[in-house]
Amino acid sequence: MKELTEVLKDWEAVIGLEVHAELTTLKTKMFCSCPIEFGADPNTHTCPVCLGMPGALPVPNKAAIESIVLAGLATNCDIEKHTMFYRKGYFYPDMAKNFQTTQGPLAFCMRGHLDLELSAKGAAERVDIPKNEGGSYTTRIGITRIHMEEDAGKMTHLGGSEGRIDGAERSLVDYNRAGTPLIELVTEPDLRTPEEARAFMQKLRQIYLTLGISDCSMEEGSLRADGNVSLRRRGSTELGTKTELKNINSFKNLHDGLAYEICRQAEVLESGGVIRQETRHWEPGAKRTIVMRVKETADDYRMFPDPDLAPFDLSDEFIENVRAKLPELPDAKKQRFMESYGLPAYDAGELAGDVEVAEFFEEAAHDEDAAVAKKIANLIINDVSAWTNENATTISKSGIAPAALAKLARLLADDTISSKQGKEVLAALIGEGSDPEEYVKSHGMEQTTDTSAIEQMVEELMTANPDKVEAYRGGKTGLQGFFMGQVMKQLGGQGNPKVISAIVTEKLEG
Ligand code: ADP
Ligand code: MG
Ligand code: ZN
């Protein structure tokens, strides 16, 4: 198969996402008062409503409707005041009612959009549009709707291979998840590259986390996506036949699955074949997609308005009360970090994308000038993040106090210590919660920026190497590195490169 960027020169990829998010932060299910809890003993959180007993009556969860309205407002959707729930025919043991309660043609949230900013790295796949100065670009992705539905229970198949139903001897069902409120966001087919799909999903996750409506755990399946993709010749405006990748559970799988599917479709089309409309499954291990089912006709779910649930008539007051609860969203926060702390766009975006990290940054940086704020940002984005990722923890659980990180940033900003020494101080901060200033003193790090000591070293080196000094002054300026290296060696690698470099240059220039 051809490489993705090669394929994208001739073909335009058209991608639309369907993103499901379980509203895991709610206390109770969508239509009953059973608790929502991941990992509880099977079938301990059930009642006549979520078990689909005859005669049981559903009552909508107001907090869930507030959550979906929040999601809609945060993604620039119109909020539809008059909507209702439908029954979608669905016979499978994981849904005891034999229908799923979901929304019809009109959902609570309609016609929204998100703007994406693709960094230079992510922009490489987009071959057809001009890029900004730094190689980035922005693009607007339409959101068709966000509708509310309920999740099904969870099946476990025993005795077959890899938990699949084929060949299984027995199947178990756990209804704890049945009736968990789910919101499904459907995009317009506006995405053009796997990187855009990944960026959309990442941005949406940041927004939902900021709103606090879902834990968005992709491993546990509370956030998952279906990726729809088709190809058309560059210049054509007609839509090609799409395939759909189901239940993608990581950003990498979303990107890689779509990239594979684009290359596969191109190969089929270029060899004169046709794309069948089918649902496919991405296998990350084997790095390929396989057919799950072929769609020959439109599904007929026999949808009809649920007679047990009255249509909604959301009041302006209800919507405005929800709007008043909107927190500062990642884009606005990024803008504010650039303006109030003088951070570059990249740093501001990285920090603003995570509620906890953003809070930590502000606590550390609120009294500092731009130079120190930039050092704090560097420490968080590069060093602390690497450590929290490695240890599967978060910044607030790292044991680092924001004030201590600010102290360390100040020592870096005024060149008391080098960035290499900074890493050592940070390690001590994380491990022992030590005070950066005391650590620097007790480990003699200040001496290595003691300019008079370094000046003396340089002078001695120049006396010992008169030929090199002469050669430098005769134009071989590369010899600056020799003197720097010697000083650094004498300091056991602990010197501050910036300080040493400045002194060496000054002395050599005479
Ligand atoms: P389906 O009925 O197969 O679920 P929908 O029309 O509901 O299809 O669209 C589902 C998703 O697929 C949406 O995100 C939509 O933008 C996207 N989509 C629709 N047609 C295409 C196409 N030809 N190529 C790529 N994506 C598409
Ligand atoms: Mg679909
Ligand atoms: Zn229940």
Please check whether residue 16 is in contact with residue 240, taking contact to mean a CB–CB distance below 8 angstroms: no
pLDDT in tens, 148-160: 999 999 999 998 8
CA triple 248-254-258, angle to 5 deg = 115
- Read off the pLDDT of each residue in 204-231 and give the average, rounded to a whole number: 96
C-alpha of residue 224 to centroid of ligand 1, in Å:
16
Residue 243 Cβ < 6 Å to ligand 1 = no
C-alpha of residue 263 to centroid of ligand 2, in Å:
22
Closest listed ligand to the CA of 142 = 1
Please check whether residue 293 is in contact with residue 278, taking contact to mean a CB–CB distance below 8 angstroms: yes
Residue 465 has pLDDT above 70, yes or no: yes
User: For residue 161, what pLDDT is reported?
Assistant: 78
How many residues would you count in the chain? 510
Closest listed ligand to the CA of 61 = 3
User: For residue 296, what pLDDT is reported?
Assistant: 65
Helix, strand, coil percentages (3-state) for the chain, rounded to 5, are 40, 20, 40
Q: Over pLDDT 70: what percentage of the chain?
A: 99
| H-run or E-run covering 129 | none
Question: Which residue's CA is minimally distant from atom 13 of ligand 1?
Answer: 16
Residue 227 Cβ < 6 Å to ligand 1 = no
Counting ligand 1 atoms within 8 A of each CB, the residue from 193, 226, 228 with the most, and so the one to mutate, is 228
What HEC string does 31-64 produce? CCCCECCCCCCCCCCCCCCCCCCCCCCCCCCHHH
Task: List the structure tokens of 373.
Answer: 């704020």
Counting ligand 1 atoms within 8 A of each CB, the residue from 242, 247, 269 with the most, and so the one to mutate, is 242
pTM equals 0.87
| H-run or E-run covering 88 | strand 85-89
Please check whether residue 460 is in contact with residue 504, taking contact to mean a CB–CB distance below 8 angstroms: no
User: For residue 27, what pLDDT is reported?
Assistant: 96
What is the rounded CA–CA span in Å between residue 56 and residue 323?
A: 33
Please check whether residue 189 is in contact with residue 14, taking contact to mean a CB–CB distance below 8 angstroms: yes
- pLDDT interval class at 397 (50, 70, 90): confident
Looking at every residue in the chain, the average pLDDT score rounds to: 93
